[in-house]
Amino acid sequence: MPGSRTGGRPPVQRAARRPAARSPRDNPVLRFATRARKAWDRPLTAYYLILGGSLLITVLGLVMVYSASQITALQMSLPGSFFFRKQFLAAAIGGVLLLAASRMPAKLLRALAYPILAGAVCLMALVQVPGIGMAVNGNQNWISLGGSFQIQPSEFGKLALVLWGADLLARKHDKKLLAQWKHMLVPLVPVAFMLLGLIMLGGDMGTAIILTAILFGLLWLAGAPTRLFVGVLSIAATIGVILIKTSPNRMARLQCIGATDPGPGDACWQAVHGIYALASGGIFGSGLGASVEKWGQLPEAHTDFIFAVTGEELGLAGTLSVLALFAALGYAGIRVAGRTEDPFVRYAAGGVTTWITAQAVINIGAVLGLLPIAGVPLPLFSYGGSALLPTMFAIGLLIAFARDEPAARAALAMRHPRFGRKRGAGGLTGPRRWNTMRRRASAARSSGER
């Protein structure tokens, strides 16, 4: 076109701008996932999960014990806070044991393994002595300490098996004897079967199942071959079937799995009312202290079935929170056992994790109607000082093992210097932090900066 600025040339077409590709950093979901993964991989993650998770479970358990036990205490003509005060006292003593265990070196723990095992065996044998042992709910597994205080020695047998079994397997690991199946089984399996026999003399099948789980956990961590593992499992399963078949009470509990009706003679009364409590809780529950089932409808509301009361008063949100805390505790224990180079720490951490996880699964599974009622408490949560004390000591072991990892130890030394000094591998070494900063400041001023 004449007079055109383009001089008759066709106009140049500009390419359409493409939108700039978004970096993964601009995606908030990916950014959050990256941060979470980095936080999850930090050296102190297991330490804080064990410490914080166990503390939250214990505190929430105290609250629920107070709520669930008031009606039972009043029905027994006792003050409403009777069971709570006893549980609080046990938690205070357990806190001292947890702190002591978290400060004990591995050598001292290994030295205490045999005395703890011997003491547990003696106490479990005394249970069967007339006039010393006493029966509770049909199980002869208690020793009276006078007044309302009782002790269940089988709970300390779990801790004894974990420590003694870990020390035994660690010594055989150092001597490279675990490749032989005889050294892997003897004397671990005979001693475990002796403890199981003492427990079953009192009729406590639930505790025997947990002790068996600890045994298999130790064998698994020791690298037992599949055929050996299956062989021992077959023997234990056969003995379990015989014990269940020969007991009408255990057969009745087995038949109550998934029951929705109490049945003839109210044989499944406890299982069904546990489901009723969970079902009536809804999403957020009826409110703390507002449970209906604890008013005489649900037996053992503050012990074996405290999870059902939690579901009724705190709802699905409360029960999922408890499950998440136990899952975090189990993950942290597995992480500690998997990252250590010390065989004793690996076996002890794995045994404690197996113990707490298996007991939580058995208790919660029974409340949900997925497993038979075994009569075991929810760790750190249910009422019972005999169960709380050794469990808190075991948690202290996990805390000590998690803090003793080289990376975690270095991180704690940098984060919490003692008396202003950095802690090195050999103790408190190095100059004070404020002296270091003073030298840096003086060097900066000498260069002309003000």
Q: What is the pLDDT of residues 381-428, one digit of tens each?
A: 999 999 999 999 999 999 999 998 878 888 878 875 554 444 444 444
Judge residue 185's burial from the number of C-beta atoms within 10 Å of its C-beta, 0-12 exposed, 13-18 middle, 19 or more buried.
middle
Nearest residue to 95 via CA among 62, 133, 70 = 62
CB 54 within 8 A of CB 326: no
The DSSP annotation for 17-77 comes to PPPPPPPGGG-HHHHHHHHHHHHHTSTTHHHHHHHHHHHHHHHHHHHHHHHHHHHHHHHTT
pLDDT (0 to 100) of residue 236: 84
> What is the rounded distance in angstroms from the CA atom of residue 78 to the CA atom of residue 419?
50
pLDDT (0 to 100) of residue 8: 54
Take residue 216 and report the two structure tokens written for it: 């298999």
- The pLDDT mean for the chain works out to 86
Write out pLDDT tens, residues 272-300. 999 999 999 999 999 999 999 999 899 99
User: Taking 70 as the threshold, does the pLDDT of residue 153 lie above it?
Assistant: yes
Nearest residue to 302 via CA among 72, 32, 15, 41 = 72
> What is the rounded distance in angstroms from the CA atom of residue 304 to the CA atom of residue 55?
20
pLDDT (0 to 100) of residue 7: 52
Would you call 208 helix, strand, or coil by DSSP?
Answer: helix
CB 155 within 8 A of CB 136: no
> What is the rounded distance in angstroms from the CA atom of residue 359 to the CA atom of residue 210?
6
CA distances from 27 to 23, 30, 34, 188, 195 (A): 7, 5, 11, 54, 56
> What is the rounded distance in angstroms from the CA atom of residue 450 to the CA atom of residue 447?
9
Write out pLDDT tens, residues 338-350. 999 999 999 999 9
Helix axes 106-126, 188-201, angle to 10 degrees: 40
CA distances from 416 to 53, 408, 409, 419 (A): 21, 12, 10, 9
